[in-house]
Structure 1
Amino acid sequence: MRNAARTLIGMAAAIFLLSGASSSLAQDANDDPIEPAFDRDCMDDYGRDLCDPEGWLGIVETFGVEAAEDAQANGWRGVRVFTIDGYSRDMPMVSVLYTEASEHGIPLNPRLEVRGAGDGEGPASSLSREAWFGLTLKSRRIVELATAAPPRQSAGDDGLPGTAGDEMIICLHAWVTVTEVLTDDGVLRRVRNACGDDPLFDAGYELSGQALRGFPVCSHLDPANYRNESAQLDRCLVLEGDNQIAAAEVLNLLDGPIFDEASSIAAYAAPGIQISGTSREKSLSGALGLDDARVVRIYTASIRAVGTDVRARGIVHRYGDEDGNDFAADVQQVWRKTDGAWRLVEFTLGPWEPM
């Protein structure tokens, strides 16, 4: 897919030149400011400038980590890879850092850390463990690739095969990685995207999958529910409590059949389920408004195993009622295993608010 996506560049340039001419004329007539050009070498899908130092620092801070320059000054060496999905959502950061190395440059105390972006309401979730030798080798390969890579990804396109007859394919919603390399000489930062072949992007993208395998509880999540390993790793970060395997089993239901079809949640309701909230409905279908909306989605934000129960918190989105309006409500659920199967025993829905 990435091979085909790279061939947009010629067409995009032509479209940009035409739209740029009309924008100049519009400015003369209306005195409206011209929107800055989209820079694929620096921007994610929604146009965040990842090359802007101040803007990038703001993103880094949401992960609860210090700037790479500060970490480097404090003696840390290694790599940090930030991944952004095709809709500008920050996926987990994966870092392999160390402070001590042998005379041959082999890290002596490498540490793997995975962090999610915080929401401002609490500390960013994280996983951490000692990095194994194979992962350390992978991170050293990323250092080599980043060091050899040009600052801008498009600079590496020079000399690649291409003719006027090449098929033109638009690259939309491309995933992006930002790789930071901390060395004795300072910090090197490279932004790469999925629009084409790029070994640095591939290596950084694959680091999430390698990190995923370092935390056994993550393997209890069903990969069929997620687009890729980075997305699975992201969901692993929401598992909490003293029995995270139990939390993962319930999340497999919430991220799988229940997310795909909200009405399927009724099949998991325990006899005597307690339904409460502002709606005063007695059935799950009534409480969720399944009969009054075009689509209902249940999103799980956190899930925690507490004793024999698993408690989930999230939000319900109800799209397209008879008047075309969308609504959202907070939701809390309590799940309990009965006769070897997880059952929903409590369901609490907050008031519906316009989206």
Structure 2
Amino acid sequence: MFIFLFILVAGLVLIYANVSPVAPGKKGKLIALGILISIFLGMFFRDTLVGCAVVAFISVWLCQALLLYIPWDLFRLGRRVVLRQAMSTRALMLASRILLAATVLLTIGLFVYGVPHNGNYRLLETTVKLPSSHVVVASTDSAAVADSSVTDSSVVTLQALSGFTAVFFSDVHVDPLFRRAKLERMIASVDSIAPDYLLFGGDLADVSTMQLDEWGYDSLFKKLTSKAKVAAVAINGNHESMQERGGSDPDAWMRKVGFVVLDDSSACIGQACFAGRTDFQVARRRGIERVPLASLAPNDSVRPWILMDHQPKGIEPEYSGRLPDFALSGHTHNGQFFPGTIVINFVWRLAFGEGMLDGVRWLVSAGVDCWGPPVRAGSNADMWVIRFTLDK
């Protein structure tokens, strides 16, 4: 958190220093100060359409501005060292105006391409072959399926050579710029797939749960969760910590619309066992430690174990014991837009798609929508169809 704040402050200082020379004297400083003020005002009124739009534009512009300003400042520094004289005020003003215009044009270009591109999402598919030590099962007791506390495999009967299907999505980030039509298309997609499980990887919204109700998202999410034949399972993400800080209870809201919410807890439901971890930032906001993975491992050794953790950090090094059969995360957005799409691969060991983390087969979704700017360039919004089969 402190590193992030340091980078943010350093970036804002760099922006101020490079924008202020666009006009002489106080006029340039006021322009630069106005940009910084608009950033903070946008964040303060982010639950409004205007505030959200300001934050969206500034977020993309900041990335493009830093991309050009950093090498420009290095060039100026090198020039001063070699020539031992500063650039003339006139030349600096001209260069600053050109750079500012270039960053604005880049940002506009990203919005022209990236907003329509984000309006769609890809349905990606993968198959998970379960180890032969597992037998996929189906419950004969409908009450047992509905009760997320059931962990006794005696309530199930063996169903040989069978499997189950899950639809996984993450990072909805409902806000004033979120397109309601996208959620309606998601409902239609899930309805056509008719999965056994609907799995949500966290980061529900960037507004209060009260606003979600006012905008009618409670009824839409109820429709979405009703499409799961066995259960809809959800975890919290780092943005749920922001909702909690604002007085909302996102976990309770998700339960209200039909999710089984796993908040550092486990549940064996129907054909599979799930462990959902509390997000790191949610735990930090609550002032608690995350429950060790060993405490979340299911006692049921028959059904496969699926781990859900919003941030793909892997499992703690000190953990020893049965490994999950599969793990799911979101959070990264696969960088969302350039240059994030490049930087993201240096931040996370697995930024998108399937791979291995700490000996566990892991899948990281790029998210079905975006945080802040609804812009995607170099990445795609996605939902995953996961088919679990027996490894014969």
TM-score normalised according to structure 2 size: 0.27
Query: Whose strand proportion is higher, 1 or 2?
Result: 1
Query: Whose helix proportion is higher, 1 or 2?
Result: 2
